[in-house]
Structure 1
Amino acid sequence: MSINIKCSVIATLICGTAFAQTVFEGQVTDKNQKPIPFATVYFDKQEYHSDAEGKFKIENLEKGKYQIEIDEQGYEPFSQNITFDTKQNFVFNLTAHTSFDLDEVTVLGHHHDFTTANVERVDQSYIQENYAGSLAKSLENIAGVNASGIGSSTSKPIIRGLGFNRLIVAENGVKQEGQQWGADHGLEIDALNVEDIEVIKGPAALEYGNEAIAGVIKINNNNLPAKHSISGETKALYQSINDNYGIGFNLKARGDKFFYKIKGSYSDYADYRTTTDRIYYLNRYLPIYNKRVKNTAGRDVNAEIQAGYVGEKFRSILTISNVNQKVGFFPGSHGIPSVERLQDDGNYRNIEFPYQKVNHFKVISENEFRLNTKDIFKLVTSFQNNRRQEMSAFHTHYANQQAPEKNPNTELDFDLSTYDTQLKFEHNHNKNFKTIIGAQAQLQTNNIAGYNYLLPQYDRNIFSGFLIEEFKQNNRWKVTAGLRYDYSTFKSEGYFDQFLYDYLVEKGNSAGIADYYANRSKTINRNFSNLNAMVGTTFQPNDLWDFNLNIGTNFRLPTAIELGSNGIHHGSFRHERGDENLDVEKGIAFDFKTVFHKNDWDISVSPYAYYFSNYIFLKPSGQFSILPHGGQIYQYTQSKALLTGFEFEVRKKINENFDANLVYEYLYNRQLTENNKLGYYLPFTPANNLFGQLNYKVIEPAGFLTNISFFANGKYTFEQDKIAQNEDITPSYFLVGIGGKTQIKFNNFKADLSIQVSNLLNKNYYNHTSFYRALQLPEQARNIQVMLGIPFGK
């Protein structure tokens, strides 16, 4: 959604010498007079492009009347008739598609973005004002977006019931590569320093490829600072739920063509508070002392530096970032809970066994070459290293296994390195027709260590190519269509657990049974290929209606855990077994959105449907594991599946002070049997929910307080009884939240202050997609959050 403000143009006529010179000079800027680089300008139907400073020049122009049109992504379409009779300089101010600030719901118009994708946009201020301990949790009020919580500081995003390896998170065009497959693995992104985000819902495999089934959370951290400027902000954060003290810092500066940014954040948090003093798990009660979830404390240290060059024909940005986290696991999230392990130790901030250490190092190089007025060449290269270690005091069920001499308490160690190169060529045939040709190569290696075994060591390579055609007509129609081909190789090393084999034989099991369990992973050498197609269209018949339709195929390569696991996954509380014969997960997706906007109303409906011919999921096998604490074996398998639903959203500006919004999300899915009869529901499916918020804005300042606003919201989540075979029914619940924000101005001092309270009534409830749901552990208690931001610079 966006604020619709009529575009304005400021024309400053500069008289030349006594002799008339037929040179037209113009500059494209935003409403703050900041240049918009590389904008597409149509001057009397001829195409031109502004340079890095938003400037363009037309020489030897005859006197007369001309029409200027500017069509730049992220800004309202601009059109103006001018009269040219001498040397003139014009400045054209474009109005941006300002995202709806969802905590305020400032509804002045609509999001009239001429793109075929189903996109929601939020900026840095939205993330900060809705911050909930992690990035995914901070986006939950966006229609169709949910989160799988992992304690109070980590979460995984879910779009329309699809998460994990069916959803892509991309930063500056590069897909985030980590341990997405695990329910206990979070998203390693510094949420406090995100600049802006686009949530793309629906089929997106055409440009993003493997795993872009649900859509893409596109993080843009490469916005250009204003020319000849230096500015920044210092942030301070407190959260009562876990006594979190956090600070953040960012600095950006630019001269003429060079710029740099420096960002950093630090958080230190204690065991988080819940609403119960005991849980019921495995047919017995376990205590939660002082209603604090033991050993969920942690520390986050994040840093990023970016440098760039902006020239007339060439632009280059280099980004280096590192995200580091150390956070404890609730005793019982690994292995079987015991009262002894849950005893209160009197220290809420210490991090004991078991805990995890995560480090995500990333380098991204973005380069753009403007060959001429019609052709653009883009090259993006990146390297990522994601290392995740699960630390636990050495323990074994096998008497013949000794602790390793080196790092004896490292239970699991995953070291994933990813090299990625993307090439893209854009050719503008004319202002209405564009061709995009792209290629991508990704090389990935995963090394393992630790005294336990879960995931095989593997190498995976993906090579892709795609073709996209874009056509538009009269700013009413736009059609995007294309094809994409992917070829992948996967090689993993087998692993035979001799300790386990000897243990099982000593227990009286046959050699065949012992061999079945001790073969933890088979050697796999497989190739995959897939062809995808998509077509999308946008139709805007008038100022009242927008229509978007996207239909496309999608795919996902089976992961190493799905192909090669065989053993107890303590993070998921079960014995999991992979299948080396799994095929590429394929399907077709349909996404439609219609928006009606008139006066102060904005109403949208977005139905969607996903059909999978071979959906991969964990299925109870009916066979119980003979491993200690193994339980039932869950087998990765494939079947047909259907996922459908819709999002309904209403926004209304009531008067000068009040505005409101209402969002309803409905989701339905089922496995399908071979004869297309309905089977069980799919796992990790968010419940249907209804969210509403009322906002009040104070028009007049109060002393040194300005831009004062308040909000109150409520979210009703329906009972989730549409469950998979290994899940529990989750009861319905209703949560209330309140908050406010203001800007403090005192002489030359300025600061932004926001205060919010979530779960105001301290409700005891369960989130169906939470990592700790399987332990019958309720969600977080009442949380009071205070954030103070102090900007500086000019």
Structure 2
Amino acid sequence: MKSILTIFFSFFTLAAFSQSKTISGKITSDQKPVNDITVKIIGTNQSTRSNSFGDYKFHGVGNENMVIQFSGIGYQPVKVKVSVPGDSTRCDVDLKLQTSDLNDVVITGVNRATALRKSPVPIAVLSKKTMDQNVNTNLIDAIVKGIPGVTAVTTGPNVSKPFIRGLGYNRVLTLYDGLRQEGQQWGDEHGIEVDEYGISRAEVVKGPASLTYGSDASAGVINMIPINPIIENGKLKGDFTTNYQTNNGLMASSLGLAYGKNDWKYTFRATGKAAHSYQNKVDGLVYGTAFREYNLSASARVDKDWGFSKTAITYYDNLMEIPDGSRDSLSRKFTRQILDDGDEIKNRPLVPDGELNTYAINPLHQHIQHFRLYNTSQFKFGNSDLNVLIGGQQSVRREYNHPTAPDQAGLYVVLNTLNYDVKYNLPDFARIESTFGINGMFQGNRSKDATDFPIPDYDLFDIGAFYFARKSFGKIDVSGGVRIDRRNINWNNFYVGSDAQTGFGQKVTPNDAIGQLQFPSFNKNYYGLSGSLGLTYNLSEKLLIKVNIARGYRAPNITEIGSNGLDPGAHIVYLGNRTFKPEFNLQQDLGIIAYLKDADLSFEVFNNDIQNYIYQSRLTDESGNPVVIVPGNLTYQYQQSKARLYGAELSINLHPSNMKWLSFNNSLAYVVGLNKNEALVSLHGRNAKYLPFIPPLQIRSELKATAQKAIGFLDKPYVKVDAAIFANQNNFYALDETETFTKGYTLVNAGLGSSVKAKNGKVLMDLFMQVDNIFNVAYQSHLNRLKYFEYYTASPNGRSGIYNMGRNLSFKVIVPF
């Protein structure tokens, strides 16, 4: 074994330094160093990226004339001719900012720098600048507003579960700095545990990405990339952000620090947010929607000639109330639960006014903690590189639902996950760029001192291997690959009994006389074969056609196969099915993109056929009445059938060349989800025709004017107005009233902002003011779970359920130092 390793490393050492000539340089923008810029020698397989101080270096280059390309997110690409007459030469460049994102370079999918225009897979990028200019209560909300085709199922202002083209839950894989996010994604009210103020950009892959990531990416991937500040050697740099929002009194502050010395770079960030209940003109202040969130993160990175290594740690802590929507039948004022035994929903006392706008968290709440420790490293071997990511994370979720015992958690689960991801970018062969990778995870979930047990304790082992390649044939770029996966999930017999003193449920041993078997033991392997093949045809520099076909794979999640109990935070009793098979989907994408002088245009259509699609449906008895297992809570049973989703997205971004101060951006997104269970549809007709959680047709338009020079101390201020138009949703899963019709609505928003500069040109602060829902429209999103929080068949004002947030004015200040 020792001899094999010696030969292995000797091979790469010889490949790396067989030629001694070097090219090095520094990459800047406005004379400031820029990191993570992709540097590639055209016509070869040699590429690298600039480090934290803007430096890059190539070893073993020839002495002939070469063309080096520099490209990166938000910068105009540059090509420079270089020759190396001696042993070494320098090539420094200063990049200009780019006004359009359509040509950006992304690092998503295959761990290589991929030009957006070359990728046949639909990919979108959202920058921090765009996120800062909108009102957001969490990161997923920001992504929904900025990227067509992305929506979210919401439960109040602090819980947004991302959906891509009508598919969500464990079908959308979320990544933090390349590490897959592992919490309790199966829950309706389980959000994404990420600090929104610590993210520099979000990359979204629309469509099956199982090739690179395996199970849970069958709908797409959202990669959230943390801020990586540009710093000068030996200097401390930082920023302070503060945000206030009027609707729910949200107060947020975030402090970021960065320091670099020689080859090392250190970052730190601390964020805090607090909000009372949000409000709208129908419900007033909505009881049970306050939250308090804290985030800490730190990292250390070293850049060397051999590559880089980064170690990071994050901590997320969120206290979030649990709304249930109970209220007085006549006044429609919110009521609260004060009893466990003998609780009568229609006789609960009113919530005092003072408790509706307090920042104190009420006794019925969730406490979510998430810890993350990981290392990501790259090792360069001449014309190839090895990328290794190892991460450990722990998700702790407590849901307190007992008013007479406020310290007793109803749900208390701890999920421990060890992730591993190894990718080797092979040396180019015949101009083919290829990557081989192995990744997966070890996972264990345990219930602690709880009273409700919706899922069993389980262990999971996941492993998959893939091969990806791409090659250019003149104007055609072709890419694709194949992957195979295996997932094992198992649990032992799980017994539950009743505590004689409290009357609450509790976990007991198999030998306990009061125990009942709630989750019989289970052990099963799931296998998946996935892949993709696509091409981009560059008709010209201005016009592209993209075609892609991909097969996705997803193993059933724990609640779909194992659930049998109440999830207190969702107010739902889930019933799973142990016989479910893995989902497989085959999606076809066709896109046309045009980069014109005065406009950027894109049009994408997709068709997605799914085998063994799993979805929720309310459980009813033979008379059609809802089955109630736990009073005051709905009962849902998972179903499985064939399904089909299809739709289109259109973007028209106008930026007249003779009116550089003006931009007019427009997008449209449309998706239809069909239930292909022929027996069910033939029996129930239109009520069972469509899939649940399908967003309606939506159109977004933004008109923005940006000054092209400073106005006094304001540096290029902007003003904008935008509208979000949502059509009626007539195509919904109506069987057993799982979903109901949702009326369309239009929201009009406006904002302005600017950087404030000193006389010496230094930025003193960035100011943003934005108002959402200017006209205080009363509306219900089709994907808002609170829409169904209703206990009466009729109400005095004709309104049912809880409405979305009303008018909201946001003030944000970012102070760099």
Shift of 1:431: 7.8
Name the amino acid aligned to 1:257.
D
Of 614, 628, 631, 1:629 maps to: 631
1:340: which partner in 2?
A: 348
2:746 is matched with 734
CA RMSD of aligned residues (A): 3.1
Determine the structure 2 residue equivalent to 1:758.
772
What's 1:13 paired with?
A: none
The aligned residue for residue 563 of structure 1 is 561
Summarize deviations over 1:417-467 as a string: whole Å, max 9, x none.
Answer: 100111111112258312211111310011113112212111111011111
Within the candidate set 312, 318, 321, 2:311 is matched to: 318
1:149-160 residue pairs with structure 2 within 5 A? 149-160=154-165
Counterpart contact for 1:243–1:270, Cα < 8 Å: yes
Report matched runs for 1:9-24 at 5 Å.
Answer: none
- 1:288 is aligned to none
1:354 aligns with 2:367: no
Cα distance change of structure 1 residues 37 and 574 upon mapping to structure 2, 3 Å threshold: closer
* Alpha-carbon spacing, 1:337–1:167, altered in 2? closer, same or farther (3 Å): farther
Percentage of identical aligned residues: 23
Displacement of 1:73 in angstroms is 6.4
* Aligned mates of 2:739, 2:531 — CA distance in 1: 35
Residue aligned with 2:610, SS: strand
Q: Which residue matches 2:330?
A: none
Mark the CA change 1:319 to 1:337 in structure 2 (over 3 Å): closer, same or farther.
farther
- The 1:356–1:112 alpha-carbon spacing in structure 2 relative to 1, beyond 3 Å, is closer
Please show how residues 716-727 of structure 1 align to structure 2 within 5 Å: 716-724=725-733, 725=735, 726-727=738-739
Aligned to 1:610: 608
Segment drifting more, 255-264 vs 223-232:
223-232
Q: Deviations over 1:341-366 (max 9, x none)?
A: 54225132221121000001101100
Q: Report the counterpart of residue 121 of structure 2 in structure 1.
A: 117
Counterpart for residue 92 of structure 2: 91
Deviates more, 1:586-595 or 1:377-386: 586-595
Q: Kindly report which structure 2 residues correspond to 1:238-317, keeping only aligned pairs within 5 A, or say none.
A: 238-277=244-283, 291-317=284-310
SS of aligned partner of 1:346:
helix
Could you tell me which residue of structure 2 aligns to residue 398 of structure 1? Answer: none
Per-residue deviation at 1:378?
1.2
CA distance in 1, matches of 2:36, 2:752: 36
TM-score of the superposed pair, with normalisation by structure 2: 0.83
C-alpha distance in 2 between matches for 1:492 and 1:24 = 56
In 1, the alpha carbon distance for the partners of 2:279 and 2:731 equals 29
Does the Cα contact within 8 Å between 2:299 and 2:311 map onto a contact in 1? yes
Supply the AA of the counterpart residue of 2:472: K
Q: 1:376-420 CA distances to partner (integer Å, 9 max, x unpaired)? A: 11110000101111012266xxxxxxx7xxx85211111111001
CA shift, 1:606, in A, is 0.8
Counterpart of 1:218?
223
1:781 counterpart = 2:783: no
Higher alpha-carbon deviation: 336-345 or 134-143: 336-345
2:578 matched residue in structure 1: 580
Query: SS at the partner of 1:428?
Result: coil
Partner of 2:721: 712
Distance 1:377 1:179 in 2: 31
SS at match of 1:773: helix
- Given the alignment, which residue of 186, 198, 202 partners 1:197? 202
Q: Which residue of 2 aligns with 1:437?
A: 436
**Contact 2:126-2:202 at 8 Å conserved across structures:** yes
Provide the C-alpha distance between the structure 2 equivalents of 1:585 and 1:704, rounded to a whole number of angstroms.
57
CA 697–366 in structure 1, closer or farther in 2 if over 3 Å, else same:
same
Q: Does 1:369 align with 2:388?
A: no
* Residue-by-residue CA offset, 1:159-207 (whole Å, 9 max, x unaligned): 1111111101101111100111111111111001111111111121100
Match of 2:695 in 1: 686
1:662 maps to which residue?
666
Q: Does 1:391 align with 2:400?
A: yes
* Segment drifting more, 553-562 vs 342-351: 342-351
Q: Secondary structure at the match of 2:669?
A: strand
Q: Distance in 1 between matches of 2:39 and 2:584?
A: 37
CA distance in 2, matches of 1:357, 1:593: 43
Partner of 1:456: 456
TM-aligned CA deviation for residue 630 of structure 1: 6.8
* Residues in 2 aligned to 1:605 and 1:612: alpha-carbon distance in whole angstroms: 23
After superposition, the C-alpha distances for 1:490-515 in whole angstroms (9 at most, x for unaligned) are: 112333444499x99xxxxxxxxxx9
Pair 1:98–1:380, CA change in 2 (3 A): farther
CA contact (8 A) 1:308 1:317 kept: yes
Q: TM-score, normalised by structure 1?
A: 0.85
Supply the distance in 2 between the matched residues of 1:38 and 1:430 (Cα, whole angstroms): 24
Q: Aligned AA for 1:456? A: P
Shift of 1:43: 6.8
SS state at 1:761 partner? coil
Contact 2:457 2:494 in 1 (8 A): no
Query: Structure 1: any 5+ residue segments left out of the alignment?
Result: 1-21, 103-110, 278-290, 396-402, 505-514
Separation in structure 2 between the aligned mates of residue 753 and residue 323 of structure 1, nearest angstrom: 27
Deviates more, 1:624-633 or 1:376-385: 624-633
Distance 2:709 2:76 in 1: 30
- CA deviation map 1:194-245 (0-9, x unaligned): 1111111112110011111221111122646345153221011100011111
Amino acid at match of 2:205: I
Q: What number of residue pairs does the alignment pair up?
A: 723
The runs of at least 4 aligned residues of structure 1 exceeding 6 Å deviation read: 83-87, 333-336, 675-678
- Looking at structure 1, the residues matched to 212 and 97 of structure 2 have their Cα atoms a distance apart, in angstroms, of 24
Question: d(CA) in 1 for partners of 2:706 and 2:227?
Answer: 32
Gaps of 5+ in 2: 1-19, 104-114, 327-336, 338-342, 504-512, 790-800
CA distance in 1 between counterparts of 2:482 and 2:45 reads 30
Q: How far, CA to CA, are the matches of 1:554 and 1:387 in structure 2?
A: 30
